[in-house]
Amino acid sequence: MERFLRSWRQDALNRGQHDSAIYIGDKVLALTNSDSDAFWLAQVHFSNNNFTRALALLSRKDLVSRSTACRYLAAHSYIKQNQFEQALTILGEHNPSDLIRNNHTRRKIQHQSHVTLRNGKNTTPRSDRAEEREREDANNVRFEAAMCYLRGLCFAKQNAFDRARDCYKDAVRIDVQCFEAFDQLMKNSLMSPAEELEFLESLDFDSVSSPDPMMAQEAAHFTKMLYTTRLSKYSSPIILSDATETLSTHYNLSENPDILLSRAEALYTQCRFAEALELTSSILSTSQSTDMATTNSSVPAQTHLGHAPAIYPLHLACLYETGATNALFLLSHMLADHSPEEPYTYLAIGVYYLSVSKVAEARRFFSKASLLDPHSAPAWIGFAHTFAAEGEHDQAIAAYSTAARLFQGSHLPQLFLGMQHLALNNMSLAHEYLCAAYSMSTGAAPNSVPALPPTPSATAAAVGGDPLVLNELGVVFYHQNQLVGAIELFQQALALATTLHCEPSAWVATRANLGHAFRRMGRLSEALREFDECLRVGAGGSSMGYSPFLGGGSGSSTAIAASGVGGYEDRGLIGSLHTSRGLILLEMGRTTDAVTTLHEAVRVLGASGGGDAAGGAGVAGTLLSRALELWALEGRQNDRAMFEASVRESSVSSAKRRGTSRSHESTSKGKERLAMESRRRRQEPVEEWTDEVPHVSTPQAVEDKVEMDLDTEADGMLRRALGRVRPKSRRVPATPEIDTETPAPSSGRSRSTRHGRSQSRQ
């Protein structure tokens, strides 16, 4: 009868008929009075959210003190009711550290289970008894590890995050298959990326049990690769990539949502937002959801429901980075209709309001999301970003500090704290926080100075880290006039971004920072080359500027630009690059090129709207006005220099031609000057009443004047020669009035006249 009833209750439970399972289970317990049947019935009550009935059943027969499994279930029931003190009373506050040293015992017994003696007798009965005891011990060990996990939950609810982290780590060390504890360590960022990798390598994966002993080694390797995909994407990109590739190809998990999510997170850290969005969209549009949507066309929004909550923060961040405002609105509206009590619903609404610059509304919904899930890192970071977007640095620092306390292993709160102190010009505090962020992202010693090679290498890729931290450290060095160190840090950031296969357009501002550092060092040609490369990359049209989930911050067009949390729109950044390039061209003395470049900067910034772009347009316009003044001054100086050179040349040539006839030449020159003065006086009234542009000396005008002087001298020499040949003829003086009636000869006519007269002399 007991066997029949147990089969009946299990079938009812498999069909989800909890009332039937509870009814039949109670009859089985009445017949057998067994601890295992009591535990089974309490589990059904727990699964049906009847936590009080489960506790009453477990405490009725003193099962909590006699059974490890019942003690675990009772503590879990108290946690579900938010009674953490009662749960700790049952669990105790200390972990069974002695079990960590016994992880290899099961392995030894498994290898000894098929031993045959010399006389041919098999030891199977003895080994069976040993395996049965081992299975019981293994179950107790697993429940002890699970209780360590529950202990960590209680400490986390009491904000004792250090003790919670130790409990989670002990749970995984005792039972490497306790994934819940490992997941809490990873998703709450309780360890730095380097600590995560070191902890993973210290785990005893050989203790993984498998029904087939021949598959135990492969099961251990498979489990380790699964855990590797959950590590921080800043820890070791090569190891993460190898694990993901092996699981995708060898085990055919390429379409698994968890593997796709790991790939999308890696792409997001590389600033390849469009590719990451494609993967997250494919996760949310699974075949089952698509089939359901096609069957019922009235609810197309169902394609984004029924997924793990971990996918939504990354998907929302990708939508924000790619500027998909309409998609954000539709997704947040759909989640508000179908999942009004979930934290990621309010996170989606907050991201949408932040994308349309409604900062106050965004702050309200981020706050709601953090209240529903106090351990949601995106909610706390987004809440702090709303203060940073409005320039409320003190409130932003307070919110980032809370995030840093909750997520002790993440470098992002430390990075944002450093950026806020940088905006407040607190360089010492900014340097301290940024060094802490650098040590967290790379595993370097605290407060250490980055020492990566300035060129891409395999070493930099193995170290990992966030290039944005190096960029912000370079900005601090720039403002402290440590230009050599700033140049090295900017170069290291670009080298690390290259080794991590980051999107080049995301690091345009970092390259611009490098150009400004070169400019201040006087290395103008190198600075110009960097800005030319920025414009070349920016011409690709992709989104520029990196923001590790929901940017904020601003920059200046000619001052150093903080690439971290993007204040520039694409056009504003392009305009600032043109402005910086024009400034360098001015310093290099290439005034004409500077005028052209600054004119382009004013055009681009003027079309970018208000905000930072408007301020940048004002700076570019000021520089353009100065460049035009320099251009005009250089033009007048060049014309004056050309005129003086021409006059000197004409004086030298005329002195050679005069020879011995100085008196006659002076007479003719005097007459010519009188004639020119007479013509000038007669033309003054006419010029006074015309609207013609005043005459400006040009190289062509100077050449015409010199040729006119030479023609006059040649006429005088010809008349003197004729007078010597025919002395008796009466010489008639030249009448300047005739010249005044004829227009001034052009350069072409003067050249032909000179040429004809030279032929007549010959």
Output the pLDDT for position 451.
47
Q: Are residues 425 and 516 in the same domain?
A: yes
Model confidence pLDDT, tens digit, residues 43-75: 999 999 999 999 999 888 778 888 889 999 999
Distances from the Cα of 616 to the Cα of 400, 546, 587, angstroms: 29, 20, 19
State the Cα–Cα distance between residues 28 and 31, nearest whole angstrom: 5
Of 653, 678, 706, the last residue of a domain is 653
| 132 band by pLDDT with thresholds 50, 70 and 90 | low
DSSP secondary structure, 452-520, as one string: --SS--HHHHHH---HHHHHHHHHHHHHTT-HHHHHHHHHHHHHHHHHTT--GGGGHHHHHHHHHHHHH
What average pLDDT score do residues 717-739 get?
48
- Give the pair of three-digit tokens for residue 496: 């690390």
- The CATH number given to whatever domain includes residue 415 is 1.25.40.10
**Domain annotation covers residue 101:** no
**Domain annotation covers residue 417:** yes
More confident residue, 458 or 230: 230
State the Cα–Cα distance between residues 598 and 603, nearest whole angstrom: 9
Distances from the Cα of 493 to the Cα of 73, 246, 698, angstroms: 51, 30, 53
Q: Are residues 512 and 585 in the same domain?
A: no
Q: How many distinct structural domains can be found in the chain?
A: 3
**Domain annotation covers residue 704:** yes
Whether the predicted pLDDT of 452 surpasses 50 = no
Q: Are residues 430 and 500 in the same domain?
A: yes
Q: Are residues 534 and 574 in the same domain?
A: no
Output the pLDDT for position 560.
37
**Domain annotation covers residue 156:** no
**pTM for this predicted structure:** 0.74
Output the pLDDT for position 53.
92
Model confidence pLDDT, tens digit, residues 528-557: 999 999 999 877 654 455 444 443 333 333
Beta strands in 237-375 (DSSP E): none
Domain of residue 602 covers 570-653
- The CATH number given to whatever domain includes residue 600 is 1.20.58
Q: Is 255 helix (H, G, I), strand (E, B) or coil?
A: coil
- Give the pair of three-digit tokens for residue 472: 């912000």
Q: Are residues 595 and 713 in the same domain?
A: no
Q: Are residues 635 and 713 in the same domain?
A: no
**Domain annotation covers residue 257:** no
Q: Are residues 532 and 424 in the same domain?
A: yes
Report the b/e string of 126-165 with b at 16+ CB within 10 A.
Answer: ebeeebeebeeebeebbbbbbbbbbbbbbbbeeeebebbb
**Domain annotation covers residue 141:** no
Q: How far is CA 225 from the centre of its chain?
A: 28
Average pLDDT value over all residues in the chain: 77
Q: Give the end-to-end CA distance of the chain in Å, rounded to a whole number.
A: 145
Distances from the Cα of 38 to the Cα of 22, 74, 305, angstroms: 11, 12, 37
State the Cα–Cα distance between residues 100 and 225, nearest whole angstrom: 22
Model confidence pLDDT, tens digit, residues 520-530: 999 999 999 99
Whether the predicted pLDDT of 356 surpasses 90 = yes
State the CB neighbour count (10 A cutoff) for residue 50: 17
**Whether 125 contacts 147, CB under 8 Å:** no
**Domain annotation covers residue 678:** no
Q: Are residues 712 and 648 in the same domain?
A: no
Q: Which residues pair with 392 in a beta bridge?
A: none
State the Cα–Cα distance between residues 612 and 748, nearest whole angstrom: 57
Nearest one of 174, 155, 167, 105 to 133, comparing CA atoms: 105
Output the pLDDT for position 652.
67
Q: Are residues 528 and 448 in the same domain?
A: yes
State the CB neighbour count (10 A cutoff) for residue 357: 9
Amino acid 685 reads P
Q: Are residues 415 and 502 in the same domain?
A: yes
**Domain annotation covers residue 716:** yes
Q: Is 233 helix (H, G, I), strand (E, B) or coil?
A: coil
Q: Are residues 416 and 473 in the same domain?
A: yes
Q: Are residues 422 and 514 in the same domain?
A: yes
Model confidence pLDDT, tens digit, residues 465-510: 789 999 999 999 999 999 999 999 999 999 999 888 888 888 999 9
Model confidence pLDDT, tens digit, residues 548-592: 444 333 333 333 333 333 333 566 788 888 889 999 998 888 888
